[in-house]
Amino acid sequence: MKKLSFTLAALTATPAMAASGPFFSLHNTDFVVSVAFILFVAILLVAKVPAKIAGMLDGRAATIKGELEEAKALRDEARALLASYEKKHKEVQEQADRIVASAKEEAGIAAQKAKDDLKLSIARRLAAAQDQIASAETAAVRKVREHAVDVAVAAASTVLAKQKTAASAAASIDEAIAQVEAKLH
């Protein structure tokens, strides 16, 4: 039951009922609050507070605008710096690619030269080996001939020793002396 009576009292109470008596009385809180508000606004206008607040807001806006312009300039500078670094990176990458290509080309040339030098060295060694073989072959043929001559001389002396008599030996000596005299005169 208490709840019901409280609810009814809250519904029937209005702000106009808070003040009793005439409106233009210092006992009327609505009038006092209205007068205080008007005096507060008047003091603010006389002290030029709205102008000062507007000036502060304008100053803050100018500061923010300057900071934004500075940030924009820094952003543009950073973009230019980034573009410069990207350009330098691209140039360095191109130079590195050229160096790698040059090194590969030089390595190919060096490999080809090494192959050519190896072929030339092999050809020289092959020619030297063939010369040694030909020299050894010539020496072997000469030794065989010398040995054949020695064997032929030995065989001829053996055959002549068996076939010769004292008369034929004297005739051979005379014939040899005649040949020597003919060649000396």
Residue 180, in any domain of the structure: no
Residue-wise pLDDT for 10-27, tens only, equals 444 445 455 566 777 778
The top-scoring range by mean pLDDT among 107-111, 148-152, 178-182 is 107-111
Residue-wise pLDDT for 59-101, tens only, equals 999 999 999 999 999 999 999 999 999 999 999 999 999 999 9
> Does the pLDDT at position 57 exceed 80?
yes
Q: Residue 11 has what pLDDT?
A: 47
Residue 65, in any domain of the structure: yes
Residue 160, in any domain of the structure: no
Residue 39, in any domain of the structure: no
Please report which residue ranges of the chain form alpha helices under DSSP H.
2-12, 29-46, 49-163, 166-184
Give how many domains the chain has, as a whole number. 1
Residue 38, in any domain of the structure: no
Residue 27, in any domain of the structure: no
pTM: 0.39
Q: Which domain holds residue 84?
A: 48-151
Sign of CA dihedral 20, 24, 25, 27: positive
